[in-house]
Amino acid sequence: MEPRINLFTNPVAGSFVKRLTMASKVISDSTLPAATHELVKIRASQINGCGYCTDMHTKDAAHAGETALRLNLVAAWPEATVFTEAERAALALTEEATRIGDGRAVSDEVWQEVRKHYDDDQISALIAAIATINAWNRMNVIARTPAGDYEPGQWG
């Protein structure tokens, strides 16, 4: 697959990517567990069909010590027993928030489950993480950024 445009070399896209990367630092610097952040990025990327981001975040998670079992089960998280209750709440929020374009909403049940496991700062980071990865996914899917060549830590 050939990319339609290189998001990293085009001056306008590159400027936006730089700012999106800077915004993402707020999430990485938060108290949201890094493993949860990676699971959120992987699940949203799977839902959105973003091969580039799925490749990147599964490799980054594995490099950070995530197990192959858990990575292989992210797509089937509702049936998997390998995720904590807090991670399941974050994945449920990711699932519902990523699918809002399908006429869905974030349910009160999912919100209450998130509230049980995360404080306001972590919830804010979780919301920002979901919004940010959805932006990255849409950019890469539209641009047809190819997947498979990412190396862990490649972008810093």
Distance CA 70, CA 77 (A): 9
Enter the pTM of the model: 0.94
Give the structural domain span for 59. Answer: 11-143
Both structure tokens of 86: 């807090």
Residue 148 belongs to a domain? no
Q: What is the pLDDT of residues 51-107, one digit of tens each?
A: 999 999 999 999 999 999 999 999 999 999 999 999 999 999 999 999 998 888 999
Q: What is the reported pLDDT for 30?
A: 97
R_g over Cα of the chain: 15
CATH number of the domain encompassing residue 80: 1.20.1290.10
Q: What is the reported pLDDT for 2?
A: 87
Between 97 and 6, whose confidence is greater? 97
Domains of the chain: total: 1
CB 80 within 8 A of CB 73: yes
